[in-house]
């Protein structure tokens, strides 16, 4: 759980528990058990949504790692082939081989 979500879940749960214990004192203030049950349900939905996001973050992290590995391979191959062109042909001919001179 992210720290923000974790803190909000903890604070909300404490509030709900405290209000349920003292519901008699709060009825004249407009608080009823149905409202607290609705709040509890919303809190459970938040927990479930956060768990889903955590799973997606984990999956994304793995995919980004694989992406970066592929990128490193391609960059290495590119640099190797670019050096070949730059080493054997004069600068005027680099574009013929797809190597732009960006100095």
| Domain tally, the chain | 1
Domain extent, residue 44, equals 3-97
Asked whether residue 102 is domain-assigned, the answer is: no
Quote the pLDDT of residue 103.
Answer: 62
Quote the pLDDT of residue 101.
Answer: 76
Burial class (CB in 10 A: 0-12, 13-18, 19+), 82: middle
Quote the pLDDT of residue 46.
Answer: 97
Mean pLDDT of the chain: 95
List the single range of 4-18, 31-45, 84-98 with lowest mean pLDDT: 84-98
The alpha carbon of residue 32 and the mean position of all alpha carbons in its chain are separated, in whole angstroms, by: 37
DSSP 99: -
Asked whether residue 15 is domain-assigned, the answer is: yes
Asked whether residue 103 is domain-assigned, the answer is: no
What is the tens place of the pLDDT at every residue in 31-70?
999 999 999 999 999 999 999 999 999 999 999 999 999 9
Asked whether residue 43 is domain-assigned, the answer is: yes
Asked whether residue 53 is domain-assigned, the answer is: yes
Quote the pLDDT of residue 1.
Answer: 66
**Residue 58, CA distances (Å) to 10, 41, 79 in order:** 23, 26, 32
């Amino acid at each position: 759980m992210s720290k923000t979500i974790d803190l909000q879940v903890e604070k909300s749960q404490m509030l709900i528990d405290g209000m349920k214990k003292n519901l008699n004192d709060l009825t004249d203030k407009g608080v009823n058990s149905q409202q607290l049950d609705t709040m509890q349900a919303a809190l459970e939905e938040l927990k479930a949504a956060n768990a889903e996001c955590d799973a997606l973050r984990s999956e994304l992290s793995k995919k980004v790692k694989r992406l970066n590995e592929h990128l490193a391979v391609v960059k290495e191959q590119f640099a190797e082939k670019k050096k070949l062109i730059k080493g054997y042909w004069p600068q005027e001919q680099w574009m013929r081989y797809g190597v732009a001179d960006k100095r």
